[in-house]
Structure 1
Amino acid sequence: MSTKGRAAQAREHDEVTLSEGDGIRYLHFATEWVQGAMRIAKPDELVLEYTRQMMAWLLFLEPPREASIGQLGLGAGALTRFCLKHTASPLAVVEWNPQVTMACHLFFKLPAPLRLVIDHGDAAAWVADPVRYGHCPVLMVDLYDAQAQGPVRDSVEFYANCRRVLGDVGVMTVNLFGKHESFPHNIANLREAFDGRVALLPQIDAGNQIVLAFSGPSLEVEAATLLARAEDVEARYGLPARRWARALIGGKRGEPLRF
């Protein structure tokens, strides 16, 4: 299906359905594809590995104090709950389907503090609004519909607007499918929009592959510095950050890393 056709399809609100197994509740859009998950006994835990990797921006930035952490696509609210628990940052979430938000409040223990703002609308229109430019130095993008055939928003223009939302210094994480036909298209568009400043984490077993994109001055980081930062992130947030750092370093331990 073309991007144009899928974009038009994505304007319809998908039916929200639930399933449960082994103490985990899952969000679906009336298909077998999982759109999000929550461990019922530990709702703040990031159950799915790809959601943990979506927090890899912590390797490069502290959670903002005044500007917002941005999230495009609410899913089951896992990233939102995690950020509410572990940071004091305002959160700006964009979700197309109001039924998803309702399900998150009713079935996925999503709180509603004042520092959480959820806008219901098209993420592409949200990032294109100049009032958003510089609004979120952190942006997590996870935009899928019921068919889960690659992101529903993936143009160069969309990613360029995401870069503007990041402002002068920022990091974006994007959830892609590594072996899907949409992957090369997305990587090419991300590289064009971010002047090549893109880094990839390894694909996980479920097929997800998280990509980081950077705005602001070029970064040059020693491998030892990145590993030290990863140890700190792992200790503070309980995330496998050293694994992420080692993946980004690869065979470049003896030379600076450039992002």
Structure 2
Amino acid sequence: MSTPIDISEEAGVRYLHFGSDWIQGAMRIRKPNALELAYTREMMAGLLLRDGLADDAGQWPKRVLIIGLGAASLAKFVHHHCPQARIKVVEIAPSVVAAARQFFKLPEEDARFSIHLGCGAQYVMEKDASWDYILVDGYDRNARAGALDTLPFYQALRSRLSASGLMAVNLFGRSRGYKASVERILTAFDDRVLAFPSCDSGNVVAFGAVGEPIERPLDELRERARSLKAATGLDLGPTITRLEQSGSVPGGVLHL
């Protein structure tokens, strides 16, 4: 698959484009492991929901699947801040992997970090593996997700999650709007879904969960966010505020 690649830079930030003005990824050059784009930060909010970095346990997630490499932002963050995690990235376009290596400081492949070239949907359907955290951020040059936004794909994702598994998906730019996507995820995950309020950029991040129910009071979420920021620099405080303001945390407790 041939994907046209363009690189731009502005105010210390390097951007990835797929032959259009759409931003497909970004890296602050002085902070290559930080998450520059708001939606990528929110896709890591699973660290607040499960026991791991946010409470210094550092044990979750142990196996991470990332579908869609882009500028390697999610891959680099997990690789750098979750040393206990084994990471598999699935990317359909070799040119995207090459650009991430050349321009975005993609980590070298080793025993805990590897890249599979191919279709993310096909990989999930065919590989009988279990994952703690699945991050889905796959788009073409026209911001279309294709097979990565179908009910069979979301059902397959759920079947691949471990007993403490979480899925996070970026729903920006779906052709029929994100609400149809959320409905598919709700069906696949038996309503155990949380869709964050839209970011300023228009991205909507949705989480699907399996295993033990998640119940986190807002005060606990804020404390965990402070710990996570101290450990990694990732600031999810604004996300928690937006969740509260949108009415997504009834009774002051997040349920998932």
Tell me the TM-score range normalised by the shorter chain: 0.7 to 0.9
2:15 — aligned with what?
26
Q: Partners in 2 of 1:79 and 1:130 — Cα distance?
A: 22
The question of whether the paired residues in 1 share the 8 Å contact of 2:143 and 2:173 is answered with no
When structure 1 is superposed on structure 2, of 190-199 and 39-48 the one drifting more is 39-48
Matched, 1:246 2:235: no
d(CA) in 1 for partners of 2:25, 2:71: 5
TM-score normalised by the chain length of structure 1: 0.87
1:42-81 paired onto structure 2 within 5 Å: 42-61=31-50, 62=52, 64=59, 67-81=62-76
Q: Structure 1: which 5+ residue stretches go unaligned? A: 1-11
The structure-2 alpha-carbon separation of the partners of 1:178 and 1:224, relative to structure 1 and needing over 3 Å to count, comes to: farther
Identify the residue that residue 137 of structure 1 maps to in structure 2: 132
Contact 2:60 2:132 in 1 (8 A): no
SS of structure 1 residue aligned to 2:163: coil
Are 2:49 and 2:216, in contact at CA under 8 Å, matched by a contact in 1? no
Is this contact kept in 1: 2:13–2:27, CA < 8 A? yes
Of residues 48-57 and 146-155 in structure 1, the stretch that sits farther from structure 2 once superposed is 146-155
User: Structure 1's 175 and 77: CA in aligned 2 closer, same or farther, altered over 3 A?
Assistant: same
Match of 2:183 in 1: 188
Q: Note the 1:157-236 alignment, pairs <5 A.
A: 157-177=152-172, 181-236=176-231
Counterpart of 2:113 in structure 1 is 116
Instruction: Return the alpha-carbon distance in structure 2 between the equivalents of residues 66 and 84 of structure 1.
Output: 11
Match of 1:4 in 2: none
Cα 1:39–1:226 shift into 2, 3 Å: closer
- Structure 2 unpaired stretches of 5+: 53-57
Q: Identify which of 2, 25, 36 aligns with 1:13.
A: 2
Q: Distance in 2 between matches of 1:172 and 1:183?
A: 16
State the 1:182 CA deviation. 2.9
- The equivalent position to 1:105 in structure 2, one of 101, 107, 114, is 101
What residue identity is the alignment partner of 1:75?
Answer: G
Q: Deviations over 1:216-244 (max 9, x none)?
A: 12223333322222222222222222222
Pairwise CA RMSD: 2.1
Identity, % of aligned pairs? 36
Which shifted more, 244-253 or 167-176? 244-253
**Residue type at the aligned position of 2:81:** H
SS in 1 for 2:89: strand
